[in-house]
Amino acid sequence: MDAKVKALINDQINKELYSAYLYLDFSNYYEAAGLDGFANWYKIQAQEERDHALLFYQYLQNNGEPVTLEAVAKPEWTRGNNMTPLQKALEHEQYVTSLINGIYAAAYEVHDFRTMQVLDWFVKEQGEEEKNASDMITKMELFGGDSKGLYMLNSELKTRAYSAPSLVL
């Protein structure tokens, strides 16, 4: 495996674990605010991000490459109102998309088609992640200002259940 591609994937493991920490922090914020549905949504997001890290981890190992785990940074964001984590999540997903695109570009440059094929799944996943984050903002804008609407939205988010990603490496 190309050294640059390997380094970017290894770094992405850390970024995905950071994403999990960030979403756990968002979950903690909403739990403290009494919005257990929003808290549930972000706990599940954290599980997804952890699994993304494990997929990259497994991919490196499957290719005989050692993984170097780095420290995961503490999430830093300024608390505001109930919209703040939603906006921060969209910004973060856009950032993660740029990282995935960067790995893809590096793999393309060296004709690493196997890595590109694995990254195709992540490219699609990031499209879904950005749409979900954007939809959450739209729903909060539409219903979050009304207590009954917020209650219904929170109740809807409570029903989200975790399902592990299905990607063959």
81 Rama sector, left if φ>0, alpha if ψ -120 to 50, beta otherwise: beta
pLDDT single digits (tens) 65-76? 999 999 999 999
Query: Domain residues of the chain, as ranges?
Result: 3-158
pLDDT for position 116: 98
What pLDDT was estimated at residue 164? 83
* pLDDT at residue 167, as a whole number: 72
The architecture in CATH of the region 3-158 reads Up-down Bundle (1.20)
Q: What is the mean pLDDT of the chain?
A: 96
Q: What is the pTM of this model?
A: 0.94
Which residues in the chain land under pLDDT 50?
A: none
